[in-house]
Amino acid sequence: METDEQITVEKVFVDSPNDYATVLAIARRARQILDEYPKYEERLENEKATSIALREYMDGDFTFDADVSKIKTDED
Q: Where are the alpha helices (DSSP H) in the chain?
A: 9-13, 19-35, 37-44, 49-58
Q: Please report, for the chain, the start and end positions of each structural domain, with discontinuous segments joined by +.
A: 9-63
CA 53/CA 61 separation, integer angstroms: 9
Give pTM, 2 decimals.
0.75
Phi, psi of 71 (to 5 degrees): -85, 125
Using an 8 Å Cβ cutoff, are 33 and 40 in contact? yes
Note the pLDDT tens digit of each residue in 4-61: 677 777 788 887 778 888 888 899 999 999 999 999 899 899 999 999 999 898 888 8
